[in-house]
């Protein structure tokens, strides 16, 4: 990678902090396993003038989803289930499912439907949703406060409450970003006999050396846990809101009084906190097809399977009406993350087959096995739709590659 061109990345990070778009950020890039870039700018805590550092802890939010999806792959290769199995085989509360009728205007306008499969949960085609999406089901989820927040535990109770609501559509008919990965986290618990946190710790975090990743801020972390900010006047999680506030960096969560410090919920869809080096260990494992130290955390062929597009076409062709962490045109979806099908259609430089996902606090990672590239970007500003930082960063990184 060209050093002069990589300097543009440095300037871009600094500009976001100087313009008070992000409080600060860290960025780590590895190519062929070798670290070629690390840079930290700005403040993890503006109020106390504390800088972003390499060991800063952040809320990973939906970057939890690829980790939970990997846990499902690990159980799959052990013969615990097949992906066309209905989720009710493991969670009986989903046995009698109903879906909203087309053009429903009320939550009780439903019809019987099939039970979502594990594969549909993995690919967000299950009929589940998120409260911040448009529609009848999201509105009901918002009223019932079903969002798997860190203080919403235990996981089993929230999943049972979710199962009482109908689906937004018949499974398989559409793509809609959803709490499906939280349901999969509960499946991991039932099948493994461990808590989700316990399974992830013993099967993924410990083998990969991800010592500071978990569903709760590690004891003693204190001010290393970055503050969360928003440019919105209202709820920082109102992803489709245009209601900007007077302060582009309004504080919404801080160490010392954060639910992530005493989390009761183990959310497989958005509950993890961690550091940049920890998540890079996960990204590098994906790039190396499951390789972990001298062995494999999961079969290389399971990683290949996970990182393929599992939709019939791109996300846009599935008629989505929901928010998504990625573009929808030219982008497919694997098991837990987005897959580039056509960079031109996505209007963002990239390689066909690169695998990525992000979180609501504007975090982002991608793995490009064609270029032997792994990239992890961390900041803490919600919602992630506030600025086009992800396509900008991808363009900067690809613009620095000259071989």
- The per-residue pLDDT for 243 is 78
Cα separation, 74 vs 69, in Å, equals 9
- The per-residue pLDDT for 283 is 98
Peptide bond into 383 cis (omega under 30): yes
Boundary-marking domain end, from 129, 158, 192: 192
Long-range contacts: 191-195, Cβ < 8 Å, 24+? 191/75, 191/80, 191/81, 191/90, 192/75, 195/266
Full-model pTM: 0.96
Mean pLDDT of 110-135: 97
- Cβ atoms within 10 A of the Cβ of 32, count? 10
Q: Higher-confidence residue: 237 or 371?
A: 371
Query: Tens of pLDDT along 206-239?
Result: 999 999 999 999 999 999 999 999 999 888 887 7
- The per-residue pLDDT for 294 is 78
- The per-residue pLDDT for 205 is 98
CATH number for position 228: 3.40.710.10
One domain, residues 165 and 124: yes
- The per-residue pLDDT for 2 is 87
3-state secondary structure the chain: CCHHHHHHHHHHHHHHHHCCCCCEEEEEEEECCEEEEEEEEEEEECCCCEECCCCCEEECHHHHHHHHHHHHHHHHCCCCCCCCCEHHHCCHHHCCCEEECCCCCCCCCEEECCCCEHHHHHCCCCCCCCCCCCCHHHHHHHHHCCCCCCCCCCHHHHHHHHHCCCECCCCCCCCCCCCHHHHHHHHHHHHHCCCHHHHHHHHHHHHHCCCCCECCCCCCCHHHECCEEECECCCCCCCCCCCECCCCCEEEECCCCCHHHHCCCCCCCCCCEECHHHHHHHHHHHHCCCEECCEECCCHHHHHHHCCCCCCCCHHHHCCCCCCCCCCCCEEECCCCEEECCHHHHCCCCCCCCEEEECCCCCEEEEECCCCEEEEEECCECCHHHCCHHHHHHHHHHHCCCC
One domain, residues 241 and 328: yes
Res. 182 pLDDT band, cuts 50 70 90? very high
Boundary-marking domain end, from 192, 225, 253: 192
| C-alpha gyration radius of the chain | 20
- In this model, does residue 240 exceed pLDDT 90? no
- The per-residue pLDDT for 297 is 96
One domain, residues 304 and 255: yes
One domain, residues 214 and 181: no
One domain, residues 225 and 184: no
Tokens of 194: 């461990």
One domain, residues 395 and 377: yes
One domain, residues 180 and 115: yes
User: Structural domain tally of the chain?
Assistant: 2
Mean pLDDT of 254-276: 97
Considering Cα of 167, then 173, then 178, then 181, what sign does the dihedral take?
Answer: positive
- The per-residue pLDDT for 327 is 77
One domain, residues 57 and 117: no
Boundary-marking domain end, from 158, 192, 226: 192
Lowest mean pLDDT among 151-155, 236-240, 293-297: 236-240
Mean pLDDT of 66-93: 98
Mean pLDDT of 237-244: 73
- The per-residue pLDDT for 323 is 74
Query: Domain span at residue 394?
Result: 3-73+195-399
Q: What is the mean pLDDT of the chain?
A: 95
- The per-residue pLDDT for 339 is 97
- In this model, does residue 392 exceed pLDDT 70? yes
Lowest mean pLDDT among 33-37, 90-94, 325-329: 325-329
One domain, residues 167 and 124: yes
- The per-residue pLDDT for 324 is 67
One domain, residues 56 and 160: no
One domain, residues 231 and 376: yes
- In this model, does residue 13 exceed pLDDT 80? yes
One domain, residues 351 and 278: yes
- In this model, does residue 269 exceed pLDDT 90? yes
Res. 242 pLDDT band, cuts 50 70 90? low
- In this model, does residue 248 exceed pLDDT 80? yes
Res. 344 pLDDT band, cuts 50 70 90? very high
- In this model, does residue 333 exceed pLDDT 70? yes
- In this model, does residue 146 exceed pLDDT 80? yes
């Amino acid at each position: 990678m060209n050093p002069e061109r990589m300097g543009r990345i440095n300037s871009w990070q600094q500009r976001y902090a100087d313009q008070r778009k992000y409080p600060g950020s860290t960025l780590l890039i590895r190519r062929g396993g070798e670290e070629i870039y690390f840079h930290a700018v700005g403040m993890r805590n503006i109020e106390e003038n504390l800088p972003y550092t390499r060991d800063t802890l952040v809320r990973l939010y939906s970057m939890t989803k690829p980790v939970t999806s990997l846990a499902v792959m690990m159980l799959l290769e052990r013969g615990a289930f097949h992906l066309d199995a209905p989720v009710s085989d493991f969670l009986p509360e989903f046995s009698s499912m109903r879906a909203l009728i087309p053009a429903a205007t009320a939550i009780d306008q439903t019809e019987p439907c099939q039970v979502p499969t594990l594969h549909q949960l993995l690919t967000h085609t299950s009929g589940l949703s998120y409260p911040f999406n448009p529609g009848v089901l999201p509105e009901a989820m918002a009223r019932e406060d079903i969002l798997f927040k860190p203080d919403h535990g235990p996981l089993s109770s929230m999943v049972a409450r979710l199962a009482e609501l109908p689906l937004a559509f018949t499974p398989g008919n559409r793509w809609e970003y959803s709490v499906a990965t939280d349901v999969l986290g509960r499946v991991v618990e039932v099948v493994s006999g461990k808590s989700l946190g316990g399974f992830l710790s013993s099967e993924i975090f410990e083998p990969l050396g991800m010592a500071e990743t978990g569903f709760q801020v590690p004891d003693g972390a204190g001010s290393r846990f970055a503050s969360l900010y928003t440019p919105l006047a209202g709820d920082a999680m109102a992803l489709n809101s245009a209601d900007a506030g007077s302060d582009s960096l309004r504080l919404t969560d801080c160490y010392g009084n954060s639910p992530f410090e005493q989390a009761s919920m183990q959310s497989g869809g958005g509950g993890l906190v961690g550091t940049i080096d920890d998540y890079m260990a996960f990204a590098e494992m994906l790039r190396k097809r499951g390789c972990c130290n001298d062995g494999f955390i999961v079969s290389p062929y399971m990683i290949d399977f996970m990182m393929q597009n599992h939709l019939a076409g791109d996300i846009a062709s599935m008629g989505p009406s929901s928010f998504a962490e990625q573009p929808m045109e030219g982008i497919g979806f694997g098991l837990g993350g987005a897959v580039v099908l056509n960079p031109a259609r996505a209007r963002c430089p990239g390689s066909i087959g690169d695998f990525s996902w992000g979180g609501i606090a504007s975090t982002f990672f991608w793995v490009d096995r064609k270029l032997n590239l792994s990239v992890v970007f961390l900041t803490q500003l919600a919602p992630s739709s506030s600025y086009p930082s992800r396509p900008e960063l991808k363009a900067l990184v690809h613009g620095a590659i000259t071989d």
